[in-house]
Amino acid sequence: MAFTLAIVATVLVYIWFIEGRGDDRQHLAAAIVIGLAIWHDLKHREWGFDGKVFGGASRLAAGWTAAAVGGIFATGLMAGTIHDRRDFLGTFLWLVVWGGAQQWVLQTTVLRDCQRATNRHAGIGIATLLFGLLHMPNVFLTVMTTMGALVWCAIYDRYPNIVPLAVSHALTTIAILYAFDEAITGRLRIGASFLRLAAS
């Protein structure tokens, strides 16, 4: 699990000690994570774009995403926090890219690393927990990402194509942004930036 441990360490150092300090070191952290994922995927020859399973991945992701988005909006309706936002399309397209990048690293590197270190099912659980814990101490986001990662990893384990997962990630995130206010989401911040927001 050397690749996974290095990625987790890089992300933790960034979110707890670097983010929000007004410099460009986030690019270095991103480059390290991307470089590690590329190195891993070159070594194991898996990039997450198996076209033969695209249909199966899409069907499973669509069903889960529809249920998740429905549940998110129902909860927002009960909480009275549903609100409008600007630039749906721009936000959605950016979230597909951002979600796709996260899914690529999570699935092709972290999940597969964890599965090789343990077994198929335990690897899903470990990868899910790691993904969720990286979103601490934002409890809301930690819970949401853990639930999402469990489903996304299970889908990828069966149908290794990240494209439907990127769209699912984007749609569930944008549903959260529309359904809940910043008091609930913590502005989707994690690590030290979340603590600074909570203290302000």
Cα separation values, 90 from 94, 95, 170, 183, Å: 6, 9, 11, 23
The predicted model scores a pTM of: 0.95
Residue with tokens 């987790």: 8
Cross-strand partners of 49: 161
Q: Give the per-residue pLDDT at 24.
A: 64
Cα three-residue angle 77-80-86, rounded to 5 degrees:
85
Give me the half-sphere count of Cα atoms (radius 13 Å) on the Cβ side of residue 157.
22
Q: Helix, strand or coil for residue 162?
A: coil
Q: Give the per-residue pLDDT at 23.
A: 61
Contact 142, 135 (CB under 8 A): yes
Q: Give the per-residue pLDDT at 101.
A: 97
Domain ranges of the chain: 2-199
User: CA 36 to CA 73: how far, in whole Å?
Assistant: 37
pLDDT in tens, the chain (200 residues): 999 999 999 999 999 998 876 666 778 899 999 999 999 999 999 999 999 999 999 999 999 999 999 999 999 999 999 999 888 999 999 999 999 999 999 999 999 999 999 999 999 999 999 999 999 999 999 999 999 999 999 999 999 999 999 999 999 999 999 999 999 999 999 999 999 998 88
Q: Hey, which bits of 66-196 come out as E strands?
A: none
Closest CA to 76 of 184, 163, 157, 4: 184
**Neighbouring residues of 8: CB distance < 8 A, sequence distance ≥ 6:** 130, 134
Q: With helix as H, strand as E and coil as C, how does 105-119 read?
A: HHHHHHHHHHHHHCC
Q: Give the per-residue pLDDT at 19.
A: 84
Tokens of 144: 């949401």
Q: Cα 15 from chain centroid? A: 15
Q: Cα 126 from chain centroid? A: 14
137 cis-preceded (ω within 30 degrees of 0): yes
User: CA 143 to CA 41: how far, in whole Å?
Assistant: 28
